[in-house]
Structure 1
């Protein structure tokens, strides 16, 4: 890291900043929307709730409604708890709440990360988060989360701000802090890609490659990410 002593109007930072080098930012909303559009153009995407009762299995393929395939990969995040095949896995889940705020007097063109992160969105809008709640597993914003975020923001910002949006989600976390990859112990053509926790954007590409190589090239998964470590839970 490099030490930066630049003054950003609206932020109280008497000791400067540590600049993280060789980093970047992925706008996941744009990425997902564009990729969905690409898949829809190729007729590769079906938007509907998955009906597990419609899944039929044989020794060498699976059938789901009109679709026939050699393998199926479930990448459902915290929704895995509704999956009858993989719900035995210890996916705990950690709720997080975030804001979109409007702060015209905040002059910031970089991402700041301290007790909260502050991400410039343009037009005086900033994304700010996030909280950690290990008990509440709902996706609804709470007054408790709002109060916590407001208090943290006020510790950092020396300017006024307005809450434009308040939203929440559940991170797919695992107690041993390792991803959940691999094939079902009893149904070998059913696979899972989950448990990426709070670093999903960074972990997902590498984990997807590992799972692909496991399925197509028979390259074993690292035992720390293989769901075989939880086979005794089934």
Structure 2
């Protein structure tokens, strides 16, 4: 019998199972592999600032302290390279926004997170100047997930399958697929709104991104304005992402493509060719905070979910808290504990 069955291997399931592995706990991860999920089409951007609103992300400093050691250790264990720690460039379109950015850097919460203002080095970028965001970068999410999946498979701890509620049985322990587990943890996106957690207020949003080819852009930093443009290897760039509360599926839309093309044109003046158009559904929550905790309805059933668009930033810090809660009974931060909806 193993300690945990983790259902879902997106950002949540990957990071939580890695934390369990580091603590020497036994588990299986089960995932029904799909070509388009929120995690697979995620940008992987981590950024401690809410740039549109000019505020610091909740617990940003603690999350940044956890982030680099966590992902570097996973890279070493899996013999892979998916983390790029490099400042985001925020577009400052005029002298007024430059002055605002400079003033922001002098505020106590921002001083370690706001970098230099630099002259625009690229004639293709539509900007007066650029503001650096320290403590930012990106994780190749699909690369991380695949590397961890390969490692788990080598340990006989990954099962490619779909968990159906009718196939789960609890009699003092959980039984699924002929195997027994002390606990189950749901990490499977917004579909976690199931009989174990019927009251959780998921507010899923559809996001669309483009992969474009633009040989003339020559950009090696993440660029942020109304959306982001992210180097994706070679002459490829990822553009995104849209937000939609309708048509919650993984089908790209004409409207989404139009929004992304418009965003590209506002950020840069450069010809491009669309290579791929992808969509996924983010497991967002109404209060924009993740969902961690134990079911009130079902014994030994837990959730680690709802990480939303900042999942890469939040996941290492939250995984540490979750495993402390599971093993030592340490209180979860009240802002993310699902008891807030009881």
Q: Fold conserved (TM > 0.5)? A: yes
Which contiguous aligned blocks of 4+ residues in structure 1 show a shift greater than 3 angstroms? none
Higher relative CO (Cα under 8 Å, sequence separation at least 6) belongs to 2
SS class of match (1:25): strand
Query: Between Structure 1 and Structure 2, how many residues are aligned?
Result: 228
Runs of 5+ consecutive residues of structure 1 not aligned to the other structure: none
Q: Is 1:162 paired with 2:273?
A: yes
Q: Is 1:180 paired with 2:291?
A: yes
Question: What is aligned with 2:189?
Answer: 77
Question: What is aligned with 1:5?
Answer: 119
Question: What is aligned with 2:176?
Answer: 64
Question: What is aligned with 1:44?
Answer: 157
1:26 counterpart (131, 136, 139): 139
With structure 2 as the length reference, what TM-score do the two structures score? 0.64
Runs of 5+ consecutive residues of structure 2 not aligned to the other structure: 1-114
With structure 1 as the length reference, what TM-score do the two structures score? 0.93
RMSD: 1.4
Question: What is aligned with 1:95?
Answer: 206
SS class of match (1:46): strand
Alpha-carbon displacement from aligned partner over 1:185-230 (angstroms, at most 9, x marks no partner): 0223000011111101111112222111111101121222111122
Question: What is aligned with 1:16?
Answer: 129
Query: For 2:269 and 2:322, how far apart are their aligned partners in 1?
Result: 47
Residue pair 2:196, 2:297 contacting (<8 A) in 1 also: no
Alpha-carbon displacement from aligned partner over 1:27-74 (angstroms, at most 9, x marks no partner): 111111111100001110000111211111134x21112211111101
Q: Is 1:224 paired with 2:338?
A: no
Q: Is 1:207 paired with 2:321?
A: no
Residue pair 1:9, 1:107 contacting (<8 A) in 2 also: no
Residue pair 1:103, 1:160 contacting (<8 A) in 2 also: yes
Query: For 2:269 and 2:305, how far apart are their aligned partners in 1?
Result: 40
**CA drift at 1:6:** 3.6
